[in-house]
Amino acid sequence: MGKTFSKPRSLTDQPTHYCPGCTHGVIHRLVAETIDELDIMERTVGIAPVGCAVLAYNYFNCDFQEAAHGRAPAMATGIKRVRPDLVVFTYQGDGDLASIGMGEIVHAANRGEKFTVIFVNNAVYGMTGGQMAPTTMPGQRTTTSPRGRNVEEVGMPIKVAELLAALETPAYITRQTVIDPKGIRKAKKAIRKAFEYQLAGRCFSLVEVVSTCPTNWGMTPVEAVAWARETLLPYYQLGEFKVPE
Amino acid sequence: MGKILMKGNEAIGEAAIRAGCLNYFAYPITPQSEVAEYLAKRMPEVGGVFLQGESEVAVGYMLFGAAGAGERVFTTSSSPGISLMSEAISYIAAAQLPVVFVNIIRGGPGLGGILPSQGDYFQATKGGGHGDYRLLVLAPASVQETAEMVMMAFPLAEKYRNPVMILGDGLIGQMMEPVEFPDHLRTAPSDKNAWASNGMATRGSRQRNLVKSLFLDPEALNNQNLLLKSKYDRMRREEVRYETYNLDGDYRVLIVSYGTMSRVCRTAVDNLKAAGVEVGLLRPQTLFPFPLEAVREAAGRPACQAVISIEMSMGQMVEDVERAVCGIRPVHWYGKCGGDVPTPEEVMDVVRGLMAGGR
């Protein structure tokens, strides 16, 4: 019997630093599988964010740049403009992309920059220890919203996919999840599609991935999946929000 | 190609192209927006990249990305814009990327004004962004010298894998002078395959390159800072540049002045000489590394009674002059920074005052 399952060559052998039950590992794998399938590892440059995935370059087996907080889309713009032949992706969390980096992501999307964004939304700041993010749900307790997010004070959570889809510039914008096998299969297809749009020189592409953070949510991995399904998915609805004409 | 009459800002754009830099990212700000306007037309003609970013913050990281991918890249801005880019400048220095910045200084702090100033001396030479880094800072005094320094800046940035800043002022950017672009300053980009994240296929390698600034281990971070320091120490040994004027005679006062201000001082030195008063002028062309030894030596000449730093700021370079002179002569300062450049007459009065012992 032959080998039926193996690690993508676009991942290194290094064990990750991610917490038990964290979905970053799954998302890394989906991106790496896509890079393998499209045979683009040798011309891919990834950009790591500031956040839990800052060390993503330890796990992806391709060239990488490490961004300042929120600035990955500007760096990707710089690379792609001077080397359009390279394949460029950013890997960003919700604090990085939707808070401090909101300006950079909106303008990169609006310019129609031909790179791919993997946007991991787990409704909380991870690496700094569970503070409130722009994506934190109403009433959700975090270390900086100890009585729960008060929308009277800080507004409603930002729906990044819908916000970017409202721009007139053609783009591929989708929201997926990796909290169950069906979602993972769909997320993989979306990630592959996003890279294919880039390879075709078509448009900006962004895959928002609704994920879990058991550590900072104070839950077991199983509880976290249930909470994501019951609380996050009704608000952050899955689907394609924009597809280029 | 012979001499042509060009505005300083346009000469900056043309000089970069002549130097072999075909990538420019910028955000408009007075008094240097003509660089972007010039390159918006010119870059497409030469097959280069022109992009107007959404902010100076973003532009800083576009430069990071492009330089990290191994391409020559530069930007131009003015004081408030450089403040916004200073975050990226720290990261670019940390990641050891060759990027050329041009700061056509306007008056500050805050919005300040749009007229010439030298108020960003500290920002350029002592930091601006966070952490232990230095920029190699070149200070031109004419449109011709600006063009040459822009052309020199790219190989210097590559030699040190460090950002280089051209520190001009609004007058340099706005005035028109004859300029030519020397062919010998056109250089081929250095080989960046050892470190650039330009894709493994580009360099035919199976080793991936990481462009980064995070060193969580204390010993690793200290070693990284020692490596950076060794580059700055090498700049101190190899890159000090300055020009002297009337330093052969028995001058009684030594003026230290750079950029636009030094041209006014030069006229004052001529006028004083005609009146029988000997004054020497030392013009730093590199502000970091600062010509410490040259200033110390010039100040130490027997006839020299006093040293004065004349600058379009409230006294910034004077601190480096004091550091150079080490107390062997009294060090004074004179300057203005509202946008008016001190006149030769003002400089002559100040020098005469010093000689009368009145200051």
Is B358's pLDDT higher than 60? no
User: For residue A4, what pLDDT is reported?
Assistant: 86
Strands B286-288, B331-335: pairing is unpaired
Strands A63-66, A116-121: pairing is unpaired
Domains B4-238 and B242-355 share a fold: yes
Say if the Cβ atoms of A63 and B57 lie within 8 Å.
no
Residue with token string 């004083």: B272
Say if the Cβ atoms of A104 and B213 lie within 8 Å.
no
B136 membership: H or E segment, kind and range: strand B136-138
| Domain ranges within chain B, ordered by starting residue | 4-238, 242-355
In chain A, which residues have their Cβ closer than 8 Å to the Cβ of B209? 63
Superfamily of domain B4-238: Thiamin diphosphate (ThDP)-binding fold, Pyr/PP domains (3.40.50.970)
Q: How many whole angstroms separate alpha carbon B205 and alpha carbon A41?
A: 12
Q: How many whole angstroms separate alpha carbon B300 and alpha carbon B124?
A: 28
The nearest alpha carbon in chain B to A83 belongs to: B69
Say if the Cβ atoms of B200 and A62 lie within 8 Å.
yes
- Which A residues, 148 through 187, put their C-beta within 8 Å of a C-beta on chain B? none
Per-residue confidence band for B359, with pLDDT thresholds at 50, 70 and 90: very low
Closest by Cβ to A78, choosing from B63, B95, B210? B63
Radius of gyration of chain B (CA): 21
C-alpha distances out from residue B116 to A42, B110, B139, B177, Å: 48, 15, 14, 17
Record the tokens describing residue A118, joined without a space.
């993997």
Say if the Cβ atoms of A79 and B63 lie within 8 Å.
no
Q: What is the pLDDT of residues B163-214, one digit of tens each?
A: 999 999 999 999 999 999 999 999 999 999 999 999 999 999 999 999 999 9
Say if the Cβ atoms of B211 and A64 lie within 8 Å.
yes
In this prediction, residues B52-56 reach a mean pLDDT of 98
In chain A, which residues have their Cβ closer than 8 Å to the Cβ of B59? 74
Say if the Cβ atoms of A63 and B197 lie within 8 Å.
yes
Say if the Cβ atoms of B69 and A82 lie within 8 Å.
yes
Measure in Å the smallest separation between the Cα of B49 and chain A Cα atoms. Answer: 7
pTM of this structure: 0.97
DSSP state of B316: S
* DSSP reduced 3-state for B234: helix
- Is the preceding omega at residue A134 within 30 degrees of 0, hence cis? no
The nearest alpha carbon in chain A to B89 belongs to: A68
Say if the Cβ atoms of A107 and B214 lie within 8 Å.
no
The nearest alpha carbon in chain B to A76 belongs to: B65
Q: In this prediction, what percent of chain A has a pLDDT beyond 70?
A: 100
- Which A residues, 70 through 129, put their C-beta within 8 Å of a C-beta on chain B? 71, 74-83, 85-86, 103-104, 107
Closest by Cβ to A63, choosing from B55, B66, B200? B200
Q: Map B22-59 to HEC letters.
A: CEEEECCCCCCHHHHHHHHHHHHHCCCEEEECCCHHHH
**Domains in chain A: ranges and CATH:** 24-242 (3.40.50.970)
Is A100's pLDDT higher than 50? yes
Beta-carbon contacts of residue A67 (< 8 Å; ≥ 6 apart)? A47, A48, A49, A50, A75, A90, B61
DSSP state of B326: T
Closest by Cβ to B214, choosing from A54, A75, A76? A54
Backbone angles phi, psi at A222, to 5 degrees: -65, -45
In chain A, which residues have their Cβ closer than 8 Å to the Cβ of B87? 68
User: For residue B2, what pLDDT is reported?
Assistant: 85
User: For residue B127, what pLDDT is reported?
Assistant: 86
Say if the Cβ atoms of B57 and A64 lie within 8 Å.
no
The CATH-assigned architecture of domain B242-355 is: 3-Layer(aba) Sandwich (3.40)
Q: A27: burial class by Cβ within 10 Å (0-12, 13-18, 19+)? A: buried
Closest by Cβ to A64, choosing from B55, B64, B197? B197
User: For residue B240, what pLDDT is reported?
Assistant: 98
> For residue A198, which of A5, A46, A18 has the smallest C-alpha distance?
A46
Is A245's pLDDT higher than 90? no
Is B159's pLDDT higher than 80? yes
Is B279's pLDDT higher than 70? yes
Residue B302 has, within 13 A of its CA and on its CB side, a CA count of 0
C-alpha distances out from residue A209 to A126, A173, A177, B126, Å: 15, 11, 5, 43
User: For residue A2, what pLDDT is reported?
Assistant: 82
In chain B, which residues have their Cβ closer than 8 Å to the Cβ of A61? 208
Residue type, B84: L
User: For residue B284, what pLDDT is reported?
Assistant: 98
Query: What's chain B's average pLDDT?
Result: 97
Q: What is the pLDDT of residues B331-347, one digit of tens each?
A: 999 999 999 999 999 99
B158 near B196, Cβ under 8 Å? no
Q: What angle do CA B212, A41, A104 make, to 5 degrees?
A: 50
Q: How many whole angstroms separate alpha carbon B339 and alpha carbon A222?
A: 66
Is A1's pLDDT higher than 80? no
Beta-carbon contacts of residue A153 (< 8 Å; ≥ 6 apart)? none
What stretches of B267-351 adopt beta strand conformation (E)?
279-284, 286-288, 306-311, 331-335
Q: What is the pLDDT of residues A124-164, one digit of tens each?
A: 999 999 999 999 999 999 999 999 999 999 999 999 999 99
In this prediction, residues A197-211 reach a mean pLDDT of 98
Record the tokens describing residue B137, joined without a space.
């800072």
Burial B177-212 (b: 16+ CB within 10 A, else e): bebebeeebebeebebeeebbbbbebbeeeebbbbb
In chain B, which residues have their Cβ closer than 8 Å to the Cβ of A107? 53-54, 58
Query: Chain B interface residues facing chain A, Cβ-Cβ under 8 Å?
Result: 23, 25, 49, 51, 53-55, 57-71, 73, 87-88, 91, 95, 197-202, 208-214
Per-residue confidence band for B1, with pLDDT thresholds at 50, 70 and 90: low
Q: What is the pLDDT of residues B112-155, one digit of tens each?
A: 999 999 999 999 999 899 999 999 999 999 999 999 999 999 99
Q: What is the pLDDT of residues A15-53, one digit of tens each?
A: 999 999 999 999 999 999 999 999 999 999 999 999 999
* DSSP reduced 3-state for B280: strand
Q: How many whole angstroms separate alpha carbon A1 and alpha carbon A3?
A: 7
> For residue A160, which of A214, A117, A192 has the smallest C-alpha distance?
A117
